[in-house]
Amino acid sequence: MFNIGVSELLVILLIAFLVVGPKDLPKVARALARFIRYLKTKWAEFLAESELDDTLKDFRTAGEDIKKAVKEVSPVEDIKQAREDIRAAVTLKEQPAPDETAKEEKK
């Protein structure tokens, strides 16, 4: 969560040991653990009451539905198909007819 390594944890504990002292260090550690647990429960309650998870899921599904609708309505595929049809028609038009090639060969 915080990406704290062993060396950083040892430095934090050493500073806490020097600041608080060896006698009160267990009390401070317990109080800190209680405070962190309290924050986690309050955060979970906040998420449950505000229904942020449900709202976020609703927004994601709505976004996916909008993307699907836009993709279905989009004329891009029709334009690509029309362009390919035009290219095919032009290449057929550019090729000489078989009768014309036979006449040219006889000359």
Tens-digit pLDDT profile for residues 66-89: 988 887 877 877 888 888 988 888
pTM: predicted TM-score of the whole model, two decimal places = 0.41
Residue holding tokens 């036979």?
102
Residue holding tokens 């550690």?
29
Residue holding tokens 């800190």?
32
Residue 79: the pLDDT is 85
Rounded Cα distance between 66 and 72, Å, is: 10
Residue 102: the pLDDT is 56
Beta-carbon contacts of 104 under 8 Å, excluding residues fewer than 6 positions away, are: 96
DSSP 24: T
- 6-37 per-position pLDDT tens digit: 888 788 888 888 888 888 888 988 998 999 99
Cα separation values, 67 from 3, 5, 62, 70, 75, Å: 37, 43, 9, 5, 14
Rounded Cα distance between 68 and 61, Å, is: 11
